[in-house]
Amino acid sequence: METDSPAISQELLAAVKEGDESANRRLVEILYPAVRANVRNHLRRWADHDDVSQEIFLKIFLRIEQYRGPQPFSHWVSRIAVTTCYDWLRKQRVRPLVTYSDLSEPEAALIESSRKSSTAETSDTQRELFSGLLEKLIATLKPREQIVIRLLDLEERSVREIATLTGWGLSKIKVTAMRARRKLAEQIQQLETQSVDDHG
């Protein structure tokens, strides 16, 4: 059995499988930062993070007997985390499109300035605003589209890595990414059009 972290040894996994409480605590300590990062990357609502993280750990411990390798243990955990986030997103309603009136004043100003200017120079504040706006727009996508866009474009994972994490086919991932990007581009274009309508 291959593990990718010296802290997650074969002995630790064997002890966890045998029900050793101290081994269980140690595994949670090791995995917690990666699980939380995975949840933060896929779920926008902070209020959901604790519940989803607990659900992921529950699945890890309930399924630990199923881990046999050959993939690294962290990949196995990541796959559980991604599929749990996907399931959680599917339970939520898809939010309606973001309209210009939904934007904060700084976000509206960002759209207005991006429409008027073609320069690529942006300040840290503008990048933060754009990141927040992008999160709002991504949250309007279907759950599968959200997962694919976050993994492919925000985490810069390959299509093959996403297939490994999700169990979805390569072409399905590519088509999903294409549709999601098109929806995001249409929303941005719509926001820019609404900006023109509001400001003449």
CB 71 within 8 A of CB 164: yes
- Does residue 137 lie within any of the structural domains? yes
108 within some domain: yes
Average pLDDT, rounded, for the chain:
84
**Collapsed DSSP state (helix, strand, coil) of residue 151:** helix
Task: Tell me, yes or no, whether 106 and 157 share the same domain.
Answer: yes
- Rounded average pLDDT over 42-46: 83
Render pLDDT for 160-200 as a digit per residue (tens, 0 to 9): 999 999 999 999 999 999 999 999 988 888 877 777 666 55
| Residue 154 resides in a domain | yes
Question: How many CB atoms are closer than 10 A to CB 17?
Answer: 13
- Of 2-6, 28-32, 144-148, 156-160, which gets the smallest average pLDDT? 2-6
Residue of 75, 73, 76, 65 lying closest to 3 (CA atoms): 73
Q: Clarify whether residues 118 and 185 are in a common domain.
A: yes
144, 75 contact by CB (below 8 A): no
User: pLDDT at position 10, please?
Assistant: 85
Domain presence at residue 2? no
Q: Give pTM, 2 decimals.
A: 0.66
For CA atoms 113, 115, 117, 119, give the dihedral sign.
Answer: positive
- As a whole number of angstroms, the distance between CA 64 and CA 83 comes to 16
**Domain of 133, in residue numbers:** 100-199
142 or 68: which leads in pLDDT: 142
* CATH number of the domain enclosing 118: 1.10.10.10
If asked whether residues 150 and 72 sit together in one domain, one would say no
Final residue of a structural domain among 91, 125, 158? 91
For residue 146, give the 3-state DSSP assignment: helix
pLDDT tens figures, 84-130? 999 998 887 656 667 766 777 777 777 776 666 655 566 777 777 77
Q: What is the pLDDT of residue 152?
A: 93
Question: Does 111 share its domain with 176?
Answer: yes
Quote the number of domains for the chain: 2
Are both 131 and 149 inside the same structural domain? yes
Shared domain check, 74 and 132: no
Q: What percent of the chain has pLDDT over 70?
A: 83
Does 38 fall in a domain? yes
| Same domain membership, residue 118 and residue 46 | no
Residue after which a domain boundary falls, among 38, 64, 91: 91
Domain shared by 62 and 139, yes or no: no
**In a domain? residue 5:** no
Residue 70: cis peptide before it, omega within 30 degrees of 0? yes
pLDDT surpassing 50 at residue 2: no
